C-alpha cells in the first residue's frame, strides 16, 4: 500500500467552533511525515482523528485501509500523546516490562527500547520522580514496544536536549526504514528538515503538503521557517502577519 493514512474532507468542530476545516491529504507508508504548525493550530486534534479518538463533524479518515479507530487497528497503530501515559508509581523498567508483557514482546526488546530513548541508566527510577522530558521518553519507549505499523507521535521531542533529539530522529528513520509509518507533530521548524514529507498547518488548514526539498524550491528559500512565512503570505496576502506572530 502506498499510503498508510488517507484523510478526506476532514472537519472537526468543538463547542460550535471550527477547529479543522476540511483537510484532505495522504501519508505515505514507510516514511517519516511531519505535521508542523504553531501551538493551537490543530495538530493534536488531527492526530486524535487519525487514532480514532476524536469526534469528527465531516469527512473520512482511513488508516491502513480501515476506518480510523476500528478494532482491527488496535495493535497496528501506536500513539504517544503529549501527556505521557505510563504508570507514575512504577519504575521505568517496570513500565516497559509491563508494556512488553501486554504486547507479547520480550524483556530484552523492552530493555532495548529503553536504550533507544537514552534511559537505560535510569531504569530503576520511579516515573513520578522523572523530569517532563524523561517521562515523555519513557512513554515513547513503551509505545515502541507494540512494534506498530503506524506510529503517531505528538510533539515527542519537546524539552529534549539537542543530542537526544538528534538520536531520536535517527531512530524514527530507522523504524521507517523497517517499514513503519511515522506521523510526528512538532511546533519547532528546525525539525521540519528531518522529515521525508511535511504537512504545514495553520488555523486548522493545511498550507503545504510536500517534501522539504520541494517546499524550499517552490518558495525560493533554504530556510524552512522562511518558507512557511512565504506560504502564509501567499495564502493571506491581505493580512501579512507580524513576524513574531507567525514565528513557531
Ligand atoms: N476539548 C476542547 N475544547 C475546546 N477547545 C478545544 C478542545 N480541544 C482543542 N481545542 C481547541 O482547538 C484548537 C486546536 O487545538 P490543538 O489541536 O490542541 O492544537 P495544537 O496541538 O496544534 O496545539 C485550539 O484552539 C484549542 O483551544
Ligand atoms: Mg498539541
Which atom of ligand 1 approaches the CA of 204 most closely?
A: 14
28, 3 contact by CB (below 8 A):
yes
pLDDT above 50 for 179: yes
- 70-90 pLDDT, tens digit per residue, is 999 988 999 988 877 899 999
- Residue 240 has a pLDDT of 56
Q: Which residue's alpha carbon is at the smallest distance from atom 24 of ligand 1?
A: 40
Q: What is the pLDDT of residues 124-175, one digit of tens each?
A: 999 999 988 888 889 989 988 878 999 999 998 877 778 888 888 998 999 9
Q: Which pLDDT score is estimated for 213?
A: 96
Give the pLDDT confidence score for residue 239 in this predicted structure.
Answer: 58
Q: Of the bound ligands, which one is closest to the alpha carbon of residue 21?
A: 1
Residue 238: what pLDDT? 67
In whole angstroms, give the CA distance from residue 8 to residue 4: 13
Ligand 1 centroid to residue 246 C-alpha, Å: 18
Strand positions, DSSP E, the chain: 3-14, 17-28, 32-36, 58-63, 66-67, 77-80, 150-154, 181-186, 197-202, 205-210
Q: Which ligand is nearest to the CA of 46?
A: 1
How far is the centre of ligand 1, averaged over its atoms, from the C-alpha of 20 (Å)?
Answer: 10
Residue 116's pLDDT is: 84
Going by DSSP bridges, is the β-strand pair 205-210/197-202 parallel, antiparallel, or unpaired? Answer: antiparallel
Whether pLDDT at 247 is above 50:
no
Ligand 2 is an ion; its neighbours by CB within 5 Å are 43-44
Q: Distance, CA 104 to ligand 1 centroid (Å)?
A: 35
Are 176 and 32 contacting, i.e. CB atoms less than 8 angstroms apart? Answer: yes
Distance (angstroms) between ligand 2 centre and the Cα of 146 equals: 23
Query: Which stretch of 36-45, 61-70, 84-93 has the lowest confidence by average pLDDT?
Result: 84-93
- Give the binding-site residues of ligand 1, using a 6 Å CB cut-off: 14-15, 19, 37, 39-45
Kindly report, residue by residue over 193-237, the tens digit of the pLDDT: 999 999 999 999 999 999 999 999 999 999 999 999 999 888 877
Mean pLDDT (whole number) for 30-45 = 96
Amino acid at each position: 500500500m502506498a499510503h498508510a493514512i488517507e484523510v478526506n474532507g476532514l472537519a472537526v468542530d468543538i463547542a460550535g467552533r471550527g477547529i479543522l476545516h476540511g483537510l484532505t491529504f495522504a501519508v505515505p507508508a514507510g516514511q517519516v511525515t511531519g505535521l508542523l504548525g504553531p501551538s493551537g493550530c490543530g495538530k493534536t486534534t488531527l492526530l486524535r482523528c487519525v487514532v480514532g479518538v476524536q469526534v469528527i463533524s465531516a469527512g473520512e479518515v482511513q488508516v491502513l485501509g480501515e476506518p480510523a479507530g476500528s478494532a482491527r487497528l488496535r495493535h497496528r497503530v501506536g500513539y504517544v500523546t503529549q501527556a505521557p501515559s505510563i504508570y507514575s508509581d512504577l519504575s521505568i523498567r517496570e513500565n516497559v516490562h509491563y508494556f512488553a508483557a501486554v504486547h507479547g514482546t520480550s524483556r530484552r526488546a523492552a530493555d532495548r527500547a529503553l536504550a533507544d530513548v537514552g534511559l537505560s541508566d535510569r531504569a530503576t527510577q520511579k516515573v513520578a520522580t522523572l523530569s517532563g522530558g524523561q517521562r515523555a521518553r519513557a512513554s515513547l519507549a513503551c509505545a515502541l514496544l507494540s512494534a506498530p505499523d503506524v506510529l503517531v507521535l505528538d510533539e515527542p521531542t519537546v524539552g529534549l536536549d539537542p543530542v537526544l533529539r538528534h538520536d531520536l530522529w535517527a531512530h524514527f528513520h530507522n523504524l521507517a526504514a523497517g517499514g513503519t509509518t511515522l506521523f510526528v507533530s512538532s511546533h519547532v521548524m528546525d525539525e521540519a528538515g528531518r522529515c521525508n514529507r511535511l504537512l504545514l498547518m495553520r488555523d486548522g488548514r493545511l498550507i503545504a503538503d510536500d517534501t522539504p526539498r520541494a517546499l524550499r524550491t517552490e518558495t525560493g528559500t533554504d530556510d524552512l521557517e522562511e518558507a512557511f512565512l512565504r506560504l502564509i503570505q501567499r495564502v493571506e496576502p491581505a493580512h501579512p502577519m507580524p513576524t513574531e506572530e507567525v514565528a513557531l
